[in-house]
Structure 1
Amino acid sequence: MLTIALRTARARWVTFVGSFVALALGVGLITTMGLGLAATLDAPQRLPERFPQAPVVVKGDDVLRVPVPGGERTGKLAHPGPVTPELARRLASLGPTTEDRSFPVRAEGGPKDLVGHPWSVAAFAPYTLDTGRVPRSDDEVVTTGWARTGARIGTDHGPVTVVGTVADRGFEDAVFWTDARAARLSPAIDQLVVVADPTAVRDAVRDAMRDTAPDAVRALPGQESEVRVLTGRDRRHADPDPEREREALLAVNALLGTAGGVTGFVSVFVVASTFAFAVARRRKEFALLRTAGATPGQIRRTVVAEALLLGVAASATGCLLGAYGAPVFVSYLVDEDLAPRWFTLGDATWPYHAAFWAGLLVALAGVVAASWRAGRVAPTEALREAAFETRSMTPGRLLLGAALLLAGLVTLAHALLTDPSDLLHRKTYISRPMLFIVAFALLSPLLVRPLVRLIAWLPARLPGASGMLIRENAAAGVRRTGAVAAPVLVTVALAGSLLGTTATLNEAKAAEIRQRTTADHVITAGPGGFDPATIERIRAVPGTEISATAATAVHVQEEGTALIRSDARAVDPAALARTARLPLTAGSVTDLDDDSVIVTEEWERHTVGSTVEVWLGDGTRKALRIAAVMSIGTGGNGAYVTPANAPGATVDRIDVRLAPGADGRAVGAALAEAARPAGGRVLTADRWMAENRPGTRRTTRTGLLLVLGIALLYTGIALAGTLVMATSDRARDLAVLRLAGATRGQVLRLVAGESLLVVLVGASAGTLVAALNLAGVRAALGLLHVRSGLVVPWDALAATFGACAAVAVAAAVVPAALCLRRGAVERAGERD
């Protein structure tokens, strides 16, 4: 049997090519994503940047450590403490020390993220002079190449002269003052370089902490403010934003994991559909073999053996494609700043194994069901089934499709009733559509005929027979129509669900901002925030009421083991009540005081009047009473405390409300003049909301576009392969139309129209899936008290449909034109 199948493979090369390309591409994509994912899991530890030449670096601990049963939980402090002068004096007795200070700088024509340092710490990077000399007076500085030697530049710390430049090392834009001037500009010691034995430094730090910490503080685990002693690779924790690259790796990991998961899903779905259709179109061949005496088992083994050979070849080719594609993809991630500069592929081999065996499994799974059905028919029934499609919906397919649809609906309803906010999480709204996609695809034979007749209702009633023939051909060939519509369904459903959900969530977040903001102007700070003098100048502007707030954070322990961080704002309760409208479900903003906190319903404890233990932004542990509770909303409502519970927080935003009768233009000009020395920007509330309108994160947007690009690529390949196979099988039908009097152009237009109709069927089914998912998201927002509209990405859906239609028409018309070239009579007289 296998020998016969292999000898007849020449006549079925189109089937094998289409299946081979689809499977090889899927394996190649899975290999590429797997290699990138493996690189994020085994990434090398980043080396220190600012202090690679420093023996020991001492800094205030920025990590909150909370002991829990069976271990310890950690969190990032919003406001770590500095190195105290007393500790600096103790460590100076061990060896030479250098005090490091980092403070924001605003300079004319300079970078926005400019940071100032004392010159003495430059040697530990090491920074070396490219031009000029070291600074010697208060108005002299050295820059990292963003300004030329000899330039006179205005800064928020007074005019300075650039007397030298150093090479930009890529991790910061810096300006170096003399040590004395830097100490006056930023008195706090952020970090201390100590040239001494690390053990001696740690002992000295431990003794200092024991001597200076109050007994009450030492009695509370997790509240003691420690100092970190950094050596070796740990010195990277003294770099600016040391967690940025770890967070970037996590983002890349999530991106590749999501893309890999969706790639696997789409490849399984499309490849299985392609293989199943390829087997189904060979029913006449199987019928003849059964009549000649072949047993059902022989037919099944033949099909499985063919799939095994094809799967091995395609999977091996896919692994080779992935080996060449992964370095290119990783380079793209680095070039687009989606991954750290040093990110590179490792030597992991498990992605090759996973992709190869997954491809082989997909190839076998794609033919098992179809081959089982083909082998079950009796010899006398086989020829009849080969002539036309008698049953495209089997009981097993109907049962599985209904079960998946029911499971999707039940889980959606359960989420809405128990935790609607879960539907707004990225992992949920990316994975949930897949359940409905598979369910609709399995139930497609039930949907094809109603959708075909609905879509073709008007064309079928137009003059001429073309509309009627298009409708009847598509409705009669349910299996063919379903096979072509399936990949379109996947792409349209993913595009509508993913892009629609993100756009709807962004609109919901924007609606929350509009609802909460009652101020007339918003003043945003430059680097470093607003100093007290600037706040008083703004407060003194007549005709205004202001609310100055600062960014901070609090941590809370929930369920006995989890340490949860909540972003928070430090506010004056009375001023906040006049300039904002919080989405409260209980309590009052004015009840907030130095012994209380405003929380959201996400907190484990969220009853007004109850007490919750929190860790403040500097690590201080404190018991606070819940003064008010906010709704969960889209998840960004955070918490509110008073400035007394945000030590170290700097005011970075001032909301301004105009008094009745005040001239908005005149007040705006006065506010701008008052905020200018601190680099503040005065915006109307509408403009501020427009500039701060929520958007999709760059890594998330890239991941979604990558997912949709993969789906669209797969759809194109599947459409082309399936339509070429289907059109080749219809050569005699096309020839009969020619004999009946149809012109060549009419036949080709008929083929093109049928292809468009089938794509419309798939797009309609995909739109139904997207609508179902978006309806769930909108219902969740309603339950979370968020008033916003549903955003449907019509432009993306139209572009997806256009791309699918173009591929489908070309893949159907070109083979049809080639079939018609040999002559109608010859084709009509052929026998399969």
Structure 2
Amino acid sequence: MSRAVRLLAARSLRAHRSAWTAVFVAVAVTSALLGALALALGSAGLGHARVDRYAAAPVVVAGDQEVRWTTTPWGDGPATVSTELTERVRVPRAAVDVVRAVPGVRAAVPDETFTVRLAGTAAVRPADRTADRPDGGVRTYPGRSWEAAALAPYGLREGREPRTADEAVVGAGLGLMVGGTVREPGRGSAGYRVVGVAEGPAALYVTGAEARARAGRPGAVDAVGVLAEPGVAVDTLHARVRAALDRAGLEDTASGQPLRALTGDGRGGAEHLGAAPARSALLEMLAAVSGTVVLVAVLVLASLVAQALRQRAPERELLRAVGATPRQVRAAAGREVTRVAGTAAVLGALGAVPLFLGLWETLGARPGVVPDGLELPVPAWLFTAVFAAAAVTAGVTRLVVPFAVGRADSAGGDRSGRGRVRPTVGIVLLLAGLASAGAASLQGGEAAAAAAGTATVTLVAGCAVLGPWLARAALWVLARPMRRLGGAPGRLTAAGADAHGRRLGAALTPVVLVTAFALVQLTAGTTVGRAAETQARAATTARLEFTGTTAEEVRTRPGVGAATDVLRSTVVLARRAAGEPRLDRLPVLGVDAAGLRGTLDPGVVAGDLTGLEAPGTVAVGAATADSLDLRPGSAVTLRYGDGAQAELRVVAVYERSLALGEFLLPKAALAPHMTDPAPSRVLAAGLPGTLPDRAAVPAPERVELPGAELNGIVSASVVSAIGGLTLLSVLSTLALIGAGRRGELRLLRQVGATAGQLRRMFALEAGFLTGTGLLVGLVVAALPLTAFARSFTGGLPYLPPSWAGLVAGTVAVTVTAGVLLSHRARGTSG
């Protein structure tokens, strides 16, 4: 039997080479895309914060930079969820003495950081005038005690260490010289004399007493670096430090969690706070788009392989007639598909490597895209993941065989999808898609986006299953005009479509898929982006902006009528989604309630923002207020960026949350929970007819989470690749259908059809597929997009007309090219 199966598969591959070419290309591209995603997921999964300033400390004692929430989901046991914190969780100063007394510890060095703001040139030589530009040219650098420089270690290149409060050592990254003076805007005439230059990046090192004073937290430190005695192993030191901390019962100063003793790559998380949240967000995004890729790939490959096998049903019937058993026929088809898919998948896996490396190289070449300190390693063994992706791709392709062969053979050819199972499955999928769209309209944030995406894929899958019926419905509308107005080509087109509804449905499915996918991906982003920009412009009513100073100082300037500090941070909101616990990290602003008039207008719909002058208060965005059933006077529990929990009273609900974040907090309440409590900028309103000197017109205020640009670029790249795959599926399906119509077209030529008539028939087919595919794809996309837009913006979806024209034009050109090119040598030549 095996010899017969091998013979049948080999002969079939040679006889149907052109048909299998379409499947080969689609499998190779799918394998390349899945392989690149597997590498990206692996690299992000291995990602960690880079160890820089703690490289010489084998153990670092720090606060727990994660917040956890344990609750009981519906009908289940207790569940714990966690998320990373973006603000510094500090260590009580008592931990320094506890660690210092541990056997084997040579030194326990407290690290206290503060932010240094320098305007223009960081410092000047004694003969020059000290730079002081409160006009927006302020740059920030870390400040630390000189004692903490030993944790890297950064040694002196020249000069000496600081001894008094007005002396400093600068990092070589600043490019300064001994003898200069460093002055900060807003700190008066006092400055630091540069007495030394150290190795390492741009930084300012001062005495320990000055660092404590500048940090402003006498009872806490950022971290404790532990230096070991000679010969003490890292594991031994870590165990001793851990035991000492447990005996002392020390907890962090914000959320009361036990302190952590970090070693290895974990030390980097104590210095690069934005790395872990950005990595987590990147992983979540990659996992989400990977699910979309898999679903699209299954639809594409299943449709192609099923069509390739279905159109050869007469050949299998002939084999059955000459003695081949059903098992031999199925085994031969499976072997044939496995050989094509296996070779294509391996080839695609090899192509995944340059695809992934190109994306990662692009991210590294763009400054600021990858958050500071985030390492995305690519070890050599990781590249084996592409072969796992290839195996999955080939396996999915092979699984189609028993369903396609059995269905086509039992149907006796093309019966246009008659039967009860297939329409039932299609209707169920459509109903599930409608339910997901409804869920998107009732939720907000990421939950709404996920529900809208699920609705799109489910609706497209339903359309794929109901393809023959959709094609027949469209034909029922267009058949009479084609017969009456299209002449002989129109009658040929209508007759062919009526006789081969299943084939027409197979051709229609990828057109619907590419249209719906493109519309959803493009429209979702433009809808939210347009609404956010509109809200940002309306919310930012200030005409003046200052940096490197505070609202209190700005209000004393001539011509200033009102001013507010703007502090940017995050909070963590614990809530349930469909009964499951989740922790949402949301961007927030800290403001001066008394300075909002004329500077920021959040668009209050209930309550009064003047209530933010009282402690323990918060203003909430309308979407979040609706989802949590909040109103003025309600209480909401939030966790600040350092994990500290607070129950706050809602004083106002506002509508411009896409621009200003879901919560507005008093700056006095937010600042103590920030790593750097200084305002990002000061927004001010001038008195009528006045304009303070050296003021910059402010850009609209718009909040973003850390790592948003990184996620945006990676997401756009993956979505573009998926779009390319769906376009390829259109071409491949049409080429495959064209390969199966050789006998039909040859017969038409023999009974008198001219080459011109056949070309016009192909043009009508292309127009039918394009028009029907665009219409069905638009309907499929409109349902989840409308729900998504209503949830996010309260309005309708928006897509620039030029982008909509691009989608329609791309689909039309692709379909026309696929129809005409697949038949150019089959129906128009003798």
Shared fold by TM > 0.5?
yes
Q: Map 1:257-336 to 2 at 5 A.
A: 257-289=287-319, 292=321, 298-299=325-326, 301-311=328-338, 314-315=341-342, 317-319=344-346, 321-322=348-349, 325-326=352-353, 329-330=356-357, 332-333=359-360, 335-336=362-363
Partner of 2:503 in structure 1? 480
2:679 aligned with 1:651: yes
- CA deviation string 1:707-756 (max 9, x = no partner): 43333433344344333333344445555666788765664465355335
Q: Is the 8 A contact 2:48 2:376 kept in 1?
A: no
Residues 468-509 of structure 1: CA distance to partner in whole angstroms, max 9, x if unpaired?
655655565433332223222212211111221121122233
Matched, 1:52 2:55: yes
Asked if the contact 1:119/1:176 (under 8 Å) is kept, the reply is: yes
Q: Which moved more, 1:138-147 or 1:256-265?
A: 138-147
Counterpart in 2 of 1:445? Answer: 468
Taking the aligned partners of 1:147 and 1:699, their CA distance within structure 2 comes to: 30
TM-fit CA distance, 1:703: 4.2
Partner of 1:818: 825
Q: 1:143 Cα deviation (Å)?
A: 3.9
| Contact 2:545–2:683 under 8 Å retained in 1 | yes
- Cα deviation digits, residues 36-59 of structure 1 (max 9, x gap): 434444x27556211211366566
Task: Give 1:387-786 correspondences, 5 Å limit.
Answer: 390-416=415-441, 419-421=442-444, 425-451=448-474, 473-474=496-497, 477-514=500-537, 516-517=539-540, 519-521=541-543, 523=545, 525-526=547-548, 530-531=549-550, 535-542=552-559, 544-552=561-569, 567-576=587-596, 579-582=599-602, 586-592=606-612, 593-599=614-620, 600-601=624-625, 606=630, 608-611=632-635, 623-629=647-653, 637-648=661-672, 649-658=677-686, 662-663=688-689, 666-667=690-691, 670=692, 672-673=693-694, 681-683=696-698, 687-688=699-700, 697-731=708-742, 734=745, 744=755, 747-748=758-759, 750-752=761-763, 754-781=765-792, 786=793
Distance 1:606 1:236, change over 3 A: same
Return the alpha-carbon distance in structure 1 between the equivalents of residues 249 and 705 of structure 2.
44
What is the TM-score with the length of structure 1 in the denominator? 0.76
The TM-score normalised by the length of structure 2 is 0.76
Residue 253 (structure 1) shift: 2.2
Structure 2 residue 260 is the aligned partner of structure 1 residue 236: no
Say if 1:78 and 1:28 are closer, same or farther in 2 by CA, change over 3 A.
Answer: closer
2:280 maps to a residue whose letter is L
Task: Indicate the SS of the match to 1:106.
Answer: strand
Contact 1:523-1:682 at 8 Å conserved across structures: yes
Alpha-carbon distance between aligned partners in 1 of 2:479 and 2:682, rounded to the nearest angstrom: 60
Check the 8 A contact 2:63/2:89 in 1, yes or no.
yes
CA distance in structure 2 between the partners assigned to 1:807 and 1:603 by the alignment: 43
Distance 1:424 1:90 in 2: 45
Task: Give the direction of change, closer, same or farther, for the CA distance of 1:620–1:474 in structure 2 (3 Å limit).
Answer: closer
Report the equivalent of 1:828: none
The residue aligned with 1:366 is: 400
Give a deviation string over 1:769-820, Cα, whole Å, max 9, x none.
1122212223334xxxx45442125544544454454454444444534346
Q: What is the CA distance between 1:630 and its match in structure 2? A: 5.1
Supply the AA of the counterpart residue of 1:408: G
Q: Aligned pair 1:343/2:377, yes or no? A: yes
Shift in CA distance, 9/315, structure 1 to aligned 2, threshold 3 Å: closer
Report the AA paired with residue 536 of structure 2.
I
Q: 2:118 aligns with which of 103, 106, 112?
A: 106
Identity of matched residues, %: 23
Q: What is the aligned counterpart of 1:790 among 794, 797, 802?
A: 797
Inter-partner Cα distance in structure 1 for 2:246 and 2:743: 90
Distance 1:740 1:208 in 2: 96
Aligned equivalent of 2:85: 76
1:601–1:631 contact (8 Å) kept in structure 2: no
1:431 CA displacement: 2.7
SS, match of residue 688 in structure 1: coil
Letter in 1 for 2:142: V
Q: Secondary structure at the match of 1:546?
A: strand
Per the TM alignment, residue 139 of structure 1 is displaced from its structure 2 partner at its CA by 7.6
CA distance in 2, matches of 1:448, 1:13: 28
- 1:794-809 correspondence runs (5 A): 794-809=801-816
Among 9, 15, 18, the residue aligned to 1:11? 15
Mean Cα deviation higher: 758-767 or 806-815:
806-815
**Residues 71/345 of structure 1: CA separation in 2 closer, same or farther (3 Å cut):** same
SS in 2 for 1:408: helix
Which position in structure 1 is the counterpart of 2:203? 174
Aligned partners of 1:254 and 1:635: how far apart in 2? Answer: 23
Query: 2:118 is paired with a residue of what secondary structure?
Result: coil
Is 1:23 the equivalent of 2:30?
no
Match of 2:283 among 239, 253, 264: 253
Contact 1:577 / 1:590 at 8 angstroms: preserved in 2?
A: no
Q: Which amino acid aligns with 1:18?
A: A
Aligned mates of 1:771, 1:607 — CA distance in 2:
32
Contact map agreement 2:48 2:269 (CA 8 A) in 1? no
**Aligned partners of 1:497, 1:548: CA distance in 2, in Å?**
38
Amino acid aligned to 1:762: G
Q: Partners in 2 of 1:699 and 1:334 — Cα distance? A: 13
Q: Runs of 5+ in structure 1 lacking a partner?
A: 676-680, 825-832
CA distance in 2 between partners of 1:716 and 1:620 (Å): 50
How far 1:584 moved relative to its partner?
5.0
**Structure 1 residue 406 displacement after superposition:** 1.5
CA RMSD of aligned residues (A): 4.8
- Whole-Å Cα distance in 2 between the matches of residues 8 and 232 of structure 1? 57
Name the amino acid aligned to 1:594.
Answer: P
What CA distance in whole angstroms lies between the structure 2 residues aligned with 1:201 and 1:815? 72
Amino acid at match of 1:236: G
Once the two structures are superposed, what CA deviation does each residue of 1:80-112 show, in whole Å capped at 9, x if it has no partner?
55765x887898899585765342332425694
In the alignment, residue 310 of structure 1 is paired with which amino acid?
Answer: V
The question of whether the paired residues in 1 share the 8 Å contact of 2:554 and 2:560 is answered with no
For the residues of structure 2 that align with 1:421 and 1:190, how far apart are their CA atoms? 36
8 A contact 1:102–1:117 mirrored in 2 = yes
Q: Post-superposition shift, 1:64? A: 6.1
1:355–1:643 CA distance, 2 compared to 1 (3 A): closer
Moved more, 103-112 or 396-405: 103-112
Structure 2 residue matching 1:708: 3-state secondary structure? helix
Partner amino acid for 1:702? Answer: I
Shift, 1:411, TM fit: 3.4
Give, in angstroms, the shift of residue 435 of structure 1: 0.3
Call closer, same or farther: CA 1:766–1:346 in 2, change over 3 Å.
farther
Work out the CA distance in 2 between the residues paired with 1:695 and 1:120: 31
Cα deviation for residue 598 of structure 1 reads 3.4
Say whether the 8 Å CA contact 1:617–1:647 is kept in structure 2: no
2: CA distance, partners of 1:289 / 1:164: 89
Tell me, what secondary structure is at the counterpart of 2:559? coil
CA distance, structure 1, for counterparts of residue 388 and residue 782 of structure 2: 34
Taking the aligned partners of 1:788 and 1:48, their CA distance within structure 2 comes to 46
**Helix, strand or coil at the partner of 1:791:** coil
Aligned residue identity for 1:499:
L
Distance 1:96 1:756 in 2: 76
